[in-house]
Amino acid sequence: MRIEELLIPNSVKEVIIKSGITQLYPPQEEAVKAGALEGKNLILASPTASGKTLIAELCALRHVLEEDGKVLYLTPLRALASEKYREFRKYARIKKKSGRRLRIGISTGDYDRSDPWLERYDIIITTNEKGDSLLRHRARWIDEISLVVADEVHLLNDADRGPTLEVVLARLMQVNPDVQLLALSATVRNAEEAAEWLKASSITTDWRPVVLREGVLLHDEAQFRDGDTFKIEKSTKNSVTNLAMHMIRSGGQALIFAGTRRNSVSLAKKAASSVGSILSKPLKRSLMRVAEGILTSGERTRVSESLAELVKHGTAFHHAGLGGAHRRIIEDAFRDGKIKVLTATPTLAFGVNLPARMVVIHDYRRYEPGYGYYPITVLEYKQMAGRAGRPRYDKIGEALLVAKTEDERDYLMDSYVLAKPERIWSKLAVERILRGHVLATVAADFAHTEQGIYDFFNKTFYAYQYDPDAIKGVIAKILKFLYKEEMIEFSGDDVYATKFGRRISELYIDPVSGVIMRDALLNRAPLLTDLSFLHMITRMPDMYPKLRPYSREIDELASLVEEHRDEFMMEIPDEWTDRIAYEEFLGEAKLALVLDSWIKEVKEDGIIEKFRVQPGDLYRLVATGRWLLHASHEIAALFKHKDLLSNLAELMEQIEKGVKIELLPLVRLNGIGRVRARILYDAGLKTIRGLKTAPLEKINGLPLIGPKLAKKIKEQVGGFVKQKEWKKLKSKKSSEQQALTKY
């Protein structure tokens, strides 16, 4: 079917055709025939890169342009939300019937808001979690939504992220039974079951834009499912490197999936020198610039240094331990074909559009702390393998699992290459996960009787798949807990949320975290310090990632805890009678110390080395820490702990910026982060007043501060920049540039 023939506005056709798409792919055609453009509910389950997004785009534009509707696009990750946002932006010039341009919005931030400004947008892209929090705030515009797109809906199967998606979909169906649902999924065994739950029809296909050859590599021989084999040249001892070299020599790139971050780094290092040795000079020059880009964005750390070094050799790693800026640089350089070998953890496998001619799955087993090694699912394998083959560039994509023995080769062939993806199962009925959703059901008035709560959860995928009574027991237990902790109240048949309960639900935190903050703020500690509050938040179940103390750290942590005994707002478990609780406490104390070092302005590298955290983890800790301090501030306000409010507000800002309290006024300026603020402060420019009266030349003369930034600072503090002074500075060679290469 040609785009021309579709019953959609011409303005939309033009944009699509201009982007290079003239024909629908077969699964897309099926979706159209199944009524996707006539308001029918639909699950489209098809392989990676089979073009599911385009169907969502067509549906969305039809709703907005022809029905004056509103669209909510749900994705599981922030990175995916921004990718979808960029893709939708190409329609932003189209005008609606009213004559006004289409408005496309993205909202993934702060969970404590209803974002009323989103009301003005036609297409709103968000994460499942943000969608959930918007529902908890009962954002008014939610009632106007006429189409919900749920991307990567097979994640219903994911223990961490599945339940939220499930609850969000159930709530949206409850709020607006007429809404059109379009669910996009990888191929799974039981798409029909999910479809029945959503009152949708399902389309399942195996069609792919590029033919995929799947197989297993053993030593120097690759064997494919059709029985075909080929030998690779044994130029190094490492068969994965040899395979990658084979790919590069024939003009392709390789994407290698490793089981752990550490493996992803070591595989990249192993490949680097061989890969580097066959790159052309112009490519190497261009890679040098990419490497420089890595070193100059964000604080320089060992991780960014080793990444930059690898990039010079056309190799890189990609995992959740990298900061966002670095990840984007790597993704772009890979897409541009500059990086030839990219090693990654499986987080890269879904959604982000980053194909390569060859995919290598190095580890089919994954390590989970506390569980040990377990084999990945076929669904996960398919997601990774599916990244092979770049549409428009490659005729064939190849995906190979790596075996060490012949037995293993047979096992991998049977269990993955020839196997069908599993069924997906709801993971909702877990108390830890369900607590917040039960509270929110009451607090946001999705139900106001106990029966109403059960009725709501009867409409979830869980209840559809299992016996609804199975979840009843867990809910009853949770209701008891919420009542005991005074988050809900009963009156006859009715159940209400207390102010405390409602606030906890809106703040989007686990009710158990709410109890921890309420009690800690009430009981306090003999000596209240930053550490007291930091430990309070690291104790909360919402704090993530949790760090376990390494055995060699235990003694040191134990004496630190002893030293600061008076500062903790809760009792320290007894080392001898409850060892497990005690070590958990040490872990919390360790996290608190990480955050404490961060606000004492210890260099990122120092923190990474001392506590063995990775930059990406540090950013996540900081983001979660900021959020939990905000929540603590709100709960302190609710319980009228006026004496703590400014303390908590300042600490939250310190965490956000990574500075001592004295730098707060300076980091509030645009363009000034923790490093530059410290430079200004140490040069005697300690206050806004000081900056206002300081000569431009003095500010500009400091390391890392060039004329442009100096002027920007002056303008922000209300200082006056003389034309003559500015001209003089501008003509000088930018010290900003010099400084960047120096630091």
**Residues engaged in binding ligand ATP (CB under 6 A):** 21, 23-25, 28, 48-54, 186, 351, 353, 391
In the complex, the smallest distance separating the C-beta of residue 53 from Mg ion, rounded to whole angstroms, is: 5
Task: CB nearer to Mg ion: give 11 or 353.
Answer: 353
Report the C-alpha gap between 484 and 626 in whole angstroms: 28
* Tokens representing residue 48 in the block: 């990676």
Measured over the CA atoms of residue 66, residue 72, residue 76 and residue 82, the dihedral's sign is: positive
Q: State residue 72 phi and psi, 5-degree precision.
A: -115, 125
Task: CB nearer to ligand ATP: give 57 or 567.
Answer: 57
- Collapse the DSSP code of 47 into the 3-class scheme (helix H, G, I; strand E, B; otherwise coil) and give the result: coil
Please give the single-letter amino acid code of residue 594: V
Task: CB nearer to ligand ATP: give 170 or 384.
Answer: 384
307 contact choice in ligand ATP, Mg ion, none (CB below 5 to 8 Å, kind-dependent):
none
In the complex, the smallest distance separating the C-beta of residue 73 from ligand ATP, rounded to whole angstroms, is: 12
- Collapse the DSSP code of 378 into the 3-class scheme (helix H, G, I; strand E, B; otherwise coil) and give the result: helix
Apex CA 183: angle with CA 181 and CA 185, to 5°?
A: 175
In 10 A of CB 515, how many CB atoms?
A: 19
In the complex, the smallest distance separating the C-beta of residue 44 from ligand ATP, rounded to whole angstroms, is: 8
In the complex, the smallest distance separating the C-beta of residue 394 from Mg ion, rounded to whole angstroms, is: 19
558 contact choice in Mg ion, ligand ATP, none (CB below 5 to 8 Å, kind-dependent):
none
Contacts of 482 (CB under 8 A, 6+ apart): 435, 438, 439, 442, 488, 501, 511
39 contact choice in ligand ATP, Mg ion, none (CB below 5 to 8 Å, kind-dependent):
none
Helix spans in 123-238 (H) = 128-136, 162-175, 191-197
Whether the CB-CB separation of 676 and 704 falls below 8 Å is answered with: yes
Report the C-alpha gap between 514 and 413 in whole angstroms: 49
In the complex, the smallest distance separating the C-beta of residue 87 from ligand ATP, rounded to whole angstroms, is: 8
Contacts of 165 (CB under 8 A, 6+ apart): 74, 76, 128, 150, 153, 155, 156
512 contact choice in Mg ion, ligand ATP, none (CB below 5 to 8 Å, kind-dependent):
none
Contacts of 197 (CB under 8 A, 6+ apart): 461, 464, 465
Whether the CB-CB separation of 631 and 507 falls below 8 Å is answered with: yes
627 contact choice in ligand ATP, Mg ion, none (CB below 5 to 8 Å, kind-dependent):
none
645 contact choice in Mg ion, ligand ATP, none (CB below 5 to 8 Å, kind-dependent):
none
In the complex, the smallest distance separating the C-beta of residue 519 from ligand ATP, rounded to whole angstroms, is: 44
Of 631-690, binders to Mg ion (CB under 5 A) are none
185 contact choice in ligand ATP, Mg ion, none (CB below 5 to 8 Å, kind-dependent):
none
**Helix orientation angle between 615-638 and 511-523, rounded to the nearest 10 degrees:** 60
Q: State residue 2 phi and psi, 5-degree precision.
A: -90, 150
391 contact choice in Mg ion, ligand ATP, none (CB below 5 to 8 Å, kind-dependent):
ligand ATP
In the complex, the smallest distance separating the C-beta of residue 515 from ligand ATP, rounded to whole angstroms, is: 39
In the complex, the smallest distance separating the C-beta of residue 350 from ligand ATP, rounded to whole angstroms, is: 6
50 contact choice in Mg ion, ligand ATP, none (CB below 5 to 8 Å, kind-dependent):
ligand ATP
Measured over the CA atoms of residue 138, residue 139, residue 144 and residue 148, the dihedral's sign is: negative
In the complex, the smallest distance separating the C-beta of residue 416 from ligand ATP, rounded to whole angstroms, is: 18
Task: CB nearer to Mg ion: give 75 or 274.
Answer: 75
Task: CB nearer to ligand ATP: give 389 or 615.
Answer: 389
Q: Which residues pair with 181 in a beta bridge?
A: 148
Task: CB nearer to ligand ATP: give 20 or 177.
Answer: 20
* Tokens representing residue 232 in the block: 């690779």
Task: CB nearer to ligand ATP: give 155 or 509.
Answer: 155
In the complex, the smallest distance separating the C-beta of residue 25 from ligand ATP, rounded to whole angstroms, is: 4
Task: CB nearer to Mg ion: give 54 or 482.
Answer: 54
In the complex, the smallest distance separating the C-beta of residue 377 from ligand ATP, rounded to whole angstroms, is: 15
Please give the single-letter amino acid code of residue 481: F
353 contact choice in ligand ATP, Mg ion, none (CB below 5 to 8 Å, kind-dependent):
ligand ATP
Task: CB nearer to ligand ATP: give 1 or 528.
Answer: 1
In the complex, the smallest distance separating the C-beta of residue 178 from Mg ion, rounded to whole angstroms, is: 26
415 contact choice in ligand ATP, Mg ion, none (CB below 5 to 8 Å, kind-dependent):
none
In terms of Cα–Cα distance, which of 165, 4, 191 is closest to 72? Answer: 165
23 contact choice in ligand ATP, Mg ion, none (CB below 5 to 8 Å, kind-dependent):
ligand ATP
Task: CB nearer to ligand ATP: give 22 or 273.
Answer: 22
In the bound complex, which residue of the shown chain has the CB atom lying closest to Mg ion? 52
Task: CB nearer to ligand ATP: give 24 or 243.
Answer: 24
In the complex, the smallest distance separating the C-beta of residue 9 from ligand ATP, rounded to whole angstroms, is: 18
Report the C-alpha gap between 415 and 382 in whole angstroms: 12
Radius of gyration over every alpha carbon of the chain, rounded to an integer in angstroms = 28
In the complex, the smallest distance separating the C-beta of residue 61 from ligand ATP, rounded to whole angstroms, is: 15
125 contact choice in ligand ATP, Mg ion, none (CB below 5 to 8 Å, kind-dependent):
none
49 contact choice in ligand ATP, Mg ion, none (CB below 5 to 8 Å, kind-dependent):
ligand ATP
In the complex, the smallest distance separating the C-beta of residue 33 from Mg ion, rounded to whole angstroms, is: 20
In terms of Cα–Cα distance, which of 261, 243, 263 is closest to 253? Answer: 243
Task: CB nearer to Mg ion: give 209 or 615.
Answer: 209
Report the C-alpha gap between 255 and 257 in whole angstroms: 7
25 contact choice in Mg ion, ligand ATP, none (CB below 5 to 8 Å, kind-dependent):
ligand ATP
**141-173 burial by CB neighbour count: b if 16+ within 10 A, else e?**
bbeebbbbbbbbbbbbbeeebbbbbbbbbbbbb
Task: CB nearer to Mg ion: give 52 or 539.
Answer: 52
Task: CB nearer to ligand ATP: give 351 or 706.
Answer: 351
Task: CB nearer to Mg ion: give 331 or 510.
Answer: 331
DSSP structural state of residue 373: E
Of 238-257, binders to Mg ion (CB under 5 A) are none
Report the C-alpha gap between 353 and 126 in whole angstroms: 18
In terms of Cα–Cα distance, which of 687, 706, 686, 682 is closest to 696? Answer: 706
Mark residues 38-67: x for contact with Mg ion by CB under 5 A, - for none: --------------x---------------
In terms of Cα–Cα distance, which of 24, 21, 27, 71 is closest to 48? Answer: 27
Q: Is the peptide bond before 545 cis (omega within 30 degrees of 0)?
A: yes
Binding residues for Mg ion, rule: CB under 5 A, are 52
